[in-house]
Structure 1
């Protein structure tokens, strides 16, 4: 399980942050920790969780970060007892973009991708993925998650658009982000994935991911 963090968890070069310690990527947004819970590990039958940290933000240099992330994945696969046919990539916001970018750069490499409230609508040469590139991702099982009231990254222009272009993809578009009676900002749709909430035809997202294989 490769978890790609959001824009606020980058390291030294992001917004005056003075940390580069990986702890932030583990603790923020419950992304990596959610996948490490007993519930998630049972769903996946035991899984390694890899949570690399960018020096800035993935969207600032997707072309440069993609081979670095892949090198880390390859190193861990070579070192540990990992099934190379069951490597999943997912991430939120900034990491949602990088999830799509990784699959575009390594077609056929991942068993599934879960981009959460991601954006790929930046100018050419930055965090832009063309319609043709998005269509080419259809060979990788894809589940997209966002909230309709996201006022950080427009869900219709991004997540819904990805869904329409990536044939066979699944879309979980929540109206809002709420959990245990608490209403969160609409951008925080990763809360649902971190708790195995999205469902499609009676199957929850973790179980769906676990069933995917290259």
Structure 2
């Protein structure tokens, strides 16, 4: 009897020991969730290809010094949650295959499958920082810089939805593994947008409040008179999110010192169409827009509400759909704007009558496009219109690029040549201040030319 009891006790001991070992394996296989005091904020920056999450600023809830941070001890896993009802990349690729007309569409930094919605980001650097991500010698924030690029899908902050043909913001949910503290951090406290945070946002109305416009606005900080730059977004940036017109494709750059310096400071206004600027009264891009009259009234309301705007130096430009609307505004309001700068504009030359041409000619104008644009082929749009304006002696200029390529030197194709963007993306050259023309024997940049124009 005693032997049976002893064998039973030995058996129970082995079971207990196995349970302890199993518990130990379980603890070693997954890290505990960090304390509620830990959190992170994403940092979304706008690049030539659009907005990407470039960093996460992690509150590690412990004091760390600059020399103590090791990038290899962190892991950043992201899940990109699409807007409700949005088409997934995999479904979008299938839809593109059925619709040859959509071949030009870029699906959020070339997302091609649902695998582009979740995975580990490549961490390129880690350092102690303040709450905004600026390097510091000590503190309890660690910033993780992550690899970004035109084909780095996991960092893309937007998803182009083929159902609506509009961009939607992606909710990027991160799980940060901090091996040094044996913890996992998944409490997101917000998103820092260093370029877009320079702007204020609101909703303005047009004539008789028939249509309203979400908008982003940048204002110089002094009390002097300054010109106003109006930028009209492309097709993908319509909707009801006023940050899209400036972040969808780097229009935030108009508030950057690289452009502001040409004007000694300038107001920037980026209104948003609820649908598309090409939303015509009869058909799409028929030479009319349901927005044009109210948009002009909204612009005038904005100017009246900002006495610092120099009414003799109001400039209007836009890309694609926005270039289309730019053409309509100068056509229908001859002489109001001091200058216009439509980019890859979408008003077909066949829709411009001789009367329209004379109206457009009353505004100095600078076109930008690329020869590889297959969305709005220049031969049907800007090329003949520019030639007609030249023929009647208009003050017209044209930056016509062979193709659109990366000029930073950071992004390359497999053969080592610069990464090439879609030919429609000639707005990249505008934002990066690359547009020039020879005027009176001298090379003149677009924004210097604009700054010199007065009504």
Compute the TM-score of the two structures, normalised by the length of structure 1.
0.89
Unaligned runs of 5+ in 1: 12-19
Determine if contact 2:340/2:365 at 8 Å carries over to the other structure. yes
Q: Deviations over 1:126-185 (max 9, x none)?
A: xx4334313431121110110011011111111111201223311111010012222100
Paired residues, number: 201
Q: Which residue of 2 aligns with 1:70?
A: 296
* Aligned with residue 22 of structure 1, among 242, 247, 255: 242
Matching of residue 132 in structure 1 with residue 373 in structure 2: no
- In the TM superposition, residue 107 of structure 1 has moved relative to its aligned partner by 0.8
- In the TM superposition, residue 209 of structure 1 has moved relative to its aligned partner by 0.7
Distance (whole Å) between structure 1 residues aligned to residue 348 and residue 259 of structure 2: 32
Distance (whole Å) between structure 2 residues aligned to residue 99 and residue 55 of structure 1: 17
Matching of residue 92 in structure 1 with residue 319 in structure 2: yes
**Higher fraction of strand:** 2
- In the TM superposition, residue 122 of structure 1 has moved relative to its aligned partner by 8.9
Residue 102 of structure 1: SS of its match in structure 2?
A: helix
Determine if contact 2:349/2:380 at 8 Å carries over to the other structure. no
Give the structure, 1 or 2, with the largest relative contact order (CA under 8 Å, sep 6 or more).
1
Q: Which residue of 1 aligns with 2:368?
A: 145
Q: Which residue of 2 aligns with 1:2?
A: 230
Q: Which residue of 1 aligns with 2:451?
A: 210
Matching of residue 196 in structure 1 with residue 433 in structure 2: yes
Determine if contact 1:112/1:141 at 8 Å carries over to the other structure. yes
Distance (whole Å) between structure 2 residues aligned to residue 50 and residue 161 of structure 1: 30
- In the TM superposition, residue 99 of structure 1 has moved relative to its aligned partner by 0.3
| Deviation beyond 4 Å, 4+ runs, structure 1 | none
Determine if contact 1:89/1:113 at 8 Å carries over to the other structure. yes
Matching of residue 59 in structure 1 with residue 278 in structure 2: yes
Unaligned runs of 5+ in 2: 1-228, 281-287, 408-417
Asked which structure has the greater CA Rg, the reply is 2
Distance (whole Å) between structure 2 residues aligned to residue 34 and residue 131 of structure 1: 35
Distance (whole Å) between structure 1 residues aligned to residue 347 and residue 338 of structure 2: 21
RMSD: 1.5
Compute the TM-score of the two structures, normalised by the length of structure 2.
0.43
**Higher fraction of helix:** 1
